[in-house]
Amino acid sequence: MLEKFLQTLMDGLAVGSLYALIALGYTMVYGILKFINFAHSDIFVLGAWLSYSMAIMAGLSMQSPVPVAPWVFGVLAALSVVAAAMQVWDRAGYDRVPAAWRGRLPSPGLGTTLTIVSLWGWSSVGLAFAARAIATGAAESSVWRTVAGGVILLAAMSTCGLIGFCVERTAYKPLRKAPRLNVLITAIGVSLLLQNLGQLDWMFGTRPQGMPRLLPDVTLAQFAGSETVPPVKLHLIDVVGAGTAVLLMVALDILVFRTKLGRAMRAVSYNDRNAALMGIPVDKVISFTFVLGAALAAAAGFLYAQKYPGLGQAASATWVLLGLKAFIAAVVGGIGNIRGAMLGGLLIGSAEMFARAYQSPSVADIYVFGILILVLLFKPTGILGTNAQEKV
């Protein structure tokens, strides 16, 4: 009995820490922009699929290595050319055109943004190539496989951060002043876009795939148990997954509560107008928040793909449900509250695993949603949320 309990608890914490990682992205965006970023779960899916394709590309699976899709280079090259042209425009062209025309032409500053984006893209590809070099340099060595996995994790985080940045700049930024419902519809649009782009043949296709294992499948410890009861097993992947998640969360916590940038983020979430008056670059802080959330979601995607190697197709309902549970974790912990998201993730993960183990997998989701509704009815701001009184 105790064995089952401990095993379930451990599974719950392992899955819960992944939920927490995704929930952080939801909660940070909600804290700052007060809208539910429904496209966040798709960034998570993208993280899982990107790490899959990078692992294939690096030759880490049984399949023969696949070269990088040429369109990636095409897009990056085109982007670099445009960025260079915009840099020239920013530095030399803008001041020379008549003032009346300036309003209709791209304003300076776009060049820097595009340069950052293209450099970022190249470095992500570079990381993917580093993973490939490591993998080919030390084939069949589990240590080097793990190192390559770490590089892939970084590359996936970087790429998803870039995509989060681009999504925020193109889709959400023009809507800063729009009603919240519109931003929400846009988020749904972005979510649909990412799902359906991901299903195209030149992206990930519509077939489910198996993620190659980058960590050796070993059991670290094994205790209790008897002849009739299976022992409690501590898998390496759970430890590494939860460890990475905790590490990232601690890093995030330090970033938000101990650094100047974090203070700016908190200031913007508290009151963006006053923050702007105090000289905080609000747009940059918001973009940074999206990058951070997307990178964490990508890490969760990578770790999830390591724990459950069967990747469903990009628009599969299971992915959507996972994202939804992470969102519930954010709400239960108190949306807008970073520590609450971590707590909520662990809570929801454990609740789900206990319902799975002690009742049946099909009803586990009912418990998760039931917890959500109970929390909302009795403490709508979540466990750690503070109550903001609405004033006239």
Binding residue for other proteins, selected from 178, 220, 224, 278, defined by CB under 8 A: 178
Interaction mask 354-373, other proteins, x per CB under 8 A: ------x-xx-xx--xx-xx
Q: How far is the CB of 66 from other proteins (least distance, A)?
A: 21
Binding residue for other proteins, selected from 78, 88, 133, 188, defined by CB under 8 A: 188
75 lies in the site for other proteins, by CB under 8 A: no
Q: How far is the CB of 181 from other proteins (least distance, A)?
A: 6
User: Strand pairing partners for 234?
Assistant: 221
81 lies in the site for other proteins, by CB under 8 A: no
171 lies in the site for other proteins, by CB under 8 A: yes
Helices (H) and strands (E) in the chain, counts: 14, 4
392 lies in the site for other proteins, by CB under 8 A: yes
Q: Strand 209-210 relative to strand 219-223: parallel, antiparallel, unpaired?
A: unpaired
Closer of 195 and 244 to other proteins (Cβ): 195
- List the structure tokens of 86: 């915009």
- List the structure tokens of 112: 């820097």
Closer of 195 and 350 to other proteins (Cβ): 195
Contact segment (CB under 8 A) with other proteins among 172-180, 230-238, 246-254, 339-347 equals 172-180
Q: Strand 232-235 relative to strand 310-311: parallel, antiparallel, unpaired?
A: unpaired
389 lies in the site for other proteins, by CB under 8 A: no
Q: How far is the CB of 309 from other proteins (least distance, A)?
A: 23
Q: How far is the CB of 377 from other proteins (least distance, A)?
A: 6
Burial letters 318-343, b for 16+ CB under 10 A, else e: ebbebbbbbbbbbbbbbbbbbbbbbb
Alpha-carbon dihedral angle through residues 291, 296, 299, 301, given to the nearest 10 degrees = -100
Closer of 92 and 317 to other proteins (Cβ): 317
Question: Is the distance from CB of 353 to CB of 15 less than 8 angstroms?
Answer: yes
Binding residue for other proteins, selected from 72, 246, 282, 376, defined by CB under 8 A: 376
DSSP string, 293-308: HHHHHHHHHHHHHHHS
| Nearest by Cα to 214 from 149, 136, 140, 281 | 149
Specify the DSSP class assigned to residue 209: E
- Interface with other proteins (CB under 8 A): 34, 36, 171, 174-175, 178-183, 185-186, 188-190, 192-193, 195-197, 200-201, 317, 320, 324, 328, 331, 335, 360, 362-363, 365-366, 369-370, 372-373, 376-377, 380, 390, 392
